[in-house]
Amino acid sequence: MSSSARKSPPPPCAIVIFGANGDLTRRLIVPALYNLSRTGLLPPRFSLIGVDHNDRSTDEWRGKIHEFLEEQVGNSGEGALKKVDDKLWSPIADAMSFLKGDFTRDETYADLKKRLAECDKAKDLGGNVLFYMATADRFFPVIAQKLGESGLVDMKECKGFRRLIVEKPFGHDLESAKSLNACLLKYLREDQIFRIDHFLGKETVQNIMALRFANGLFEPIWNRDRIDHVQITVAESIGVGTRGKFYEGTGALRDMVPNHLFQLVAMTAMEPPVSFDAEDVRAKKAEIFKAVHPLTLADVVRGQYDAGAVGADNVPAYRAEDRVAPDSTTETYVALRLTIDNWRWAGVPFYLRTGKRLKARSTEIAIRFKRAPHALFRDTPMGELDADWLIARIQPDEGIRLRFNAKRPGQAMALESVAMDFKYKDYFKQAPSVGYETLIYDCLTGDTTLFQRADQVESAWGVVEPILEGWADSNPRQFPNYAAGSEGPVAANDLLARDGRSWRAIR
């Protein structure tokens, strides 16, 4: 997490991608490497080895990846590539080689060890290897086991570093999370394991720590004395698309809450670390989940989208999506009320919500400050004396907004809520990004600050475990309970209304 002005290229290394033909590799990992190339933050010498079960040559793999990059030219979306520069692509293309192999067979790892030795000898990589598990999560334990048994991650046998990137999900419940961690830690040290969550690659998420700890203005009021409540929203306008089979066995809570949303909670609620050293930061994050008050079913609302309209498009109900059961009880929306039992946050509720087919795509952290005393403004309608908001917008337009009261022009003391906006695109020249550049760079340099430790993962699953168990014993009878294009089920509004509060509009 050092300043970009002080960043230098990582040391030479080999990068091994398990699942080289998958969507994650072509859509995010290799484009992120391309963007690191444009900023001069690729290793000066490296090899990129793709491992998958498909029978494909290196030229075919390289061509498919380049073809996908070319398709992105002119795309106006977030992190879009404007032009594939052959000078930037060339070092990546030259470093690529493909290895056909079954992830479950010893022969694959013997072949991989041989390939790594050849690359190391040819390019003087110092024995450094970064393994990336860009596969279905069912392969995580077997790949870790085979890497361990083959000696490929044994720091006593290997020169240089050996690191492993694990994509979410980190388990499907507390038991499976513990099992996965036990498997990983049997063969690797904790500092070799990088559990990656792309949300933490967003500039605004990382800027929360700068906002709080680098400004004398905010940290003194970042507590229960001045903050009324916190709202964290991760809203998606898209449906499940082609992921129906995966989503049926997962649902919104497992897919989003113990990882994405809880990481945003941790960044917002953590105590100041003594330094930005990785272990100091991660220790403070871990404390938050241990302090969360146990959830009950009354603290959580679940929903499933019906047919409706998102913008100008009519879209089907979740139960009508491809590879979804016609009587599915899988939730596509979840809202919950968290309380944190520590000195800073006692009595301050954290309201979290996430869902698919909502009104708009929006991710934000909204801090609601307590209302000013009304006595001085006794002649001002309470509706005009609004409370102040600090809003960190993570996507689609990254930035920070402060809403506060100002006097409306005229003779009367009439108030109006106004806003001060900071947008990254207005102040900083940002390089194109797919959200993985910072995280992959940190993996290459060994900085674990933005990655979850085993105890964080297990504590997060421990928070939601009572809800998963309660839902397993009672199927929802009212599904579907919100229309596509809306802001979610009515019951989610009731969750806040009983506390005398309401959700911010999704926009």
Residues 6+ apart with CB under 8 A from 434: 27, 28, 31, 32, 35, 79
Q: How far is CA 276 from CA 206, 248, 268, 499, in A?
A: 12, 39, 15, 36
Give the β-pairing of 129-133 and 96-100.
Answer: unpaired
Given strand 13-18, what is the order of strands in its sheet? 96-100, 46-52, 13-18, 129-133, 162-167, 193-196
Catalytic positions: 260
Q: How far is CA 52 from CA 140, 328, 390, in A?
A: 14, 33, 46
Helix (H, G, I), strand (E, B) or coil at 161: coil
| Contact between 318 and 239 (Cβ < 8 Å) | yes
Helix (H, G, I), strand (E, B) or coil at 173: coil
Residues 6+ apart with CB under 8 A from 84: 34, 66, 69, 70, 72, 73
Residue listed under structure tokens 């990589």? 125
Q: How many CB atoms lie within 10 A of CB 148?
A: 18
